[in-house]
Amino acid sequence: MTREQSKYTKSADAFAQARKYLPGGVDSPVRAFGRVDMGPVFVAAAKGSKIYDIDGNQYIDYVCSWGPMILGHAHPAVLEAILAAAQKGSSFGAPTLAETELAEKVIAAYDSIEKVRFLSSGTEAVMTAIRLARAYTRKDLIVKMVGCYHGHSDSLLVAAGSGLAETAIASSAGVPDSIAKLTVVLPYNDIEAVKAAFEKHKGNIAAVLIEPVAANMGVIGPADGYLQMLRELCNGRDTLLIFDEVITGFRLAAGGAQELFAINGDLTCLGKIIGGGLPAAAVAGRADIMDMLAPLGPVYQAGTLSGNPIATAAANATLDILTKGDCYEKLESSAATLEAGLADAAKNAGIDVTINRLGSIMSCFFTDKPVRNFTDVQSTDIECFKKFFAAMLNQGIYLAPSAYEAMFVSLAHTPEDIEKTIEAAKNSFARIIG
């Protein structure tokens, strides 16, 4: 056992025990650290910008629970709201005033949203949005983009077919081909491919589903005019534009990517930050579409824990903080400093790194090429990333254990955290070339 391995002995033992009872030892695949050829660290606690594992190691956290912890871990105001709500009961299965309060905050933040339905996960939000789109348009096909992840519902666990504007093939066992064929998979940032799909499947496309800023294949922003052209194409063809802002909602701005790029979706899917760190999500949009949901309309959706009072309390507390003061200016400053420091460290080490950043999310791709779509993402040097990840972890910097994931900066990250991270990167890049 090396000195570095000895830092994680309790985590290694815990992982071996977990594999006896949990498939792969985890409850979500990326947590297994399989993409970085090592075992996961088991987290014991978190506070502010730091997480602590069961071996007693401390890390500056840039996973932030995959995005929700924009205020940092265990924020006092959020904890106070959670505790106050929990003392009144953990679940009622009945309406509460806090749900309406939260809906009002969401509607105030997004110009495109008139009504909201709260749910328990981003997967559920997107699944419901697709059902609404099909019911509203009376069409069956959905367009999605290669590399954009929208949850694990059957119609979205698909891969591109062999040709332009081809319907998809299943990318997971258990997904029937008959369901996969209802999805058309296209390259991100390729408007000509979208035009071709509309021409090939004329009159049959219910919705274009997209992350306005792709953040599940690393961070990739939309090309100039791309979102606006999608909007125009959908407007002219009785097709809904669904923005999956599970990651970008309330992170890039109070009104998410739609505020940042001055564009409105017909339906918006929210998650992560909308739960304040607890399981919660929402599908939201125009009233005429949303009113198709039961009990008003014919589209059925229900959930025992939808609008859960504890999650709703955490969400209200989180949004109260984010929508006041200069939170987004602070996030931008911290993230810009980190981006510049990482870029300089890579350049000085002679290592090719392309950094994509929008607001407080960013990705480091080990390539000398611009990264604008999933094909570009695949040019990243995975072996370099694995070395970088391990070196950073050993210096107390916790990054996502996959080359295709984002880094998240929170309001809890201090200038000292950023400086320490940049110094760790310098050492890590030196180790790669060494």
Q: Find, among 31, 39, 37, the residue nearest to 55 by Cα.
A: 39
For residues 43 and 61, is the Cβ–Cβ distance under 8 A?
no
Per the omega criterion (within 30 degrees of 0), is the bond before 295 cis?
yes
Please report whether residue 83 resides in a domain: yes
**Residue 26 CB coordination number (10 Å):** 16
Q: Can you give the pLDDT at residue 226? A: 98
CA dist 387 and 175 (Å) reads 35
Structure token pair of residue 86: 């929990």
For residues 30 and 405, is the Cβ–Cβ distance under 8 A?
yes
Is 139 found in the same domain as 80?
Answer: yes
Please report whether residue 147 resides in a domain: yes
Q: Can you give the pLDDT at residue 378? A: 94
Please report whether residue 41 resides in a domain: yes
Is 352 found in the same domain as 315?
Answer: no
CA dist 229 and 375 (Å) reads 22
Is 249 found in the same domain as 123?
Answer: yes
CATH number of domain containing 151:
3.40.640.10
Q: How many domains does the chain have?
A: 2
Please report whether residue 284 resides in a domain: yes
Domain containing 58 equals 5-62+326-433
CATH number of domain containing 365:
3.90.1150.10
Length of the chain counted residue by residue: 434
CA dist 369 and 111 (Å) reads 36
Is 220 found in the same domain as 116?
Answer: yes
Is 134 found in the same domain as 21?
Answer: no
- Give every CB contact of residue 38 below 8 A, 6+ residues apart in sequence: 390, 401
For residues 157 and 172, is the Cβ–Cβ distance under 8 A?
yes
Please report whether residue 228 resides in a domain: yes
Neighbouring-strand partners of residue 117: 283
Q: Can you give the pLDDT at residue 167? A: 64
Residue-wise pLDDT tens for the chain (434 aa)?
455 667 999 999 999 999 999 999 999 999 999 999 999 999 999 999 999 999 999 999 999 999 999 999 999 999 999 999 999 999 999 999 999 999 999 999 999 999 999 999 999 999 999 999 999 999 999 999 999 999 999 888 888 665 555 667 888 899 888 888 999 999 999 999 999 999 999 999 999 999 999 999 999 999 999 999 999 999 989 999 999 999 999 999 999 999 999 999 999 999 999 999 999 999 999 999 999 999 999 999 999 999 999 999 999 999 999 988 899 999 999 999 999 999 999 999 999 999 999 999 999 999 999 999 999 999 999 999 999 999 999 999 999 999 999 999 999 999 999 999 999 999 999 988 87
Q: How far is CA 246 from the centre of its chain?
A: 5
Please report whether residue 69 resides in a domain: no
Q: Can you give the pLDDT at residue 4? A: 65
Q: Can you give the pLDDT at residue 185? A: 95
User: Annotated active-site positions, please?
Assistant: 149, 244, 272
Give alpha helix (H) positions in 303-381: 309-322, 327-349, 374-377
Residue at which a domain ends, from 304, 322, 340: 322
Is 210 found in the same domain as 139?
Answer: yes
Residue at which a domain ends, from 322, 354, 371: 322
Is 245 found in the same domain as 146?
Answer: yes
Q: What are phi and psi of 186, to 5 degrees?
A: -130, 160
Q: What are phi and psi of 58, to 5 degrees?
A: -110, 140
DSSP-derived secondary structure letter, 300: -
Please report whether residue 68 resides in a domain: no
Is 188 found in the same domain as 295?
Answer: yes
Is 142 found in the same domain as 29?
Answer: no
Ramachandran area for residue 266 (φ above 0: left; ψ -120 to 50: alpha; else beta): alpha
Is 267 found in the same domain as 220?
Answer: yes
Please report whether residue 273 resides in a domain: yes
Residue at which a domain ends, from 322, 342, 364: 322
Structure token pair of residue 331: 């996030």
Is 285 found in the same domain as 212?
Answer: yes
CA dist 102 and 359 (Å) reads 24
- Give every CB contact of residue 326 below 8 A, 6+ residues apart in sequence: none
pTM for the whole thing? 0.96
DSSP-derived secondary structure letter, 322: H
Is 132 found in the same domain as 51?
Answer: no
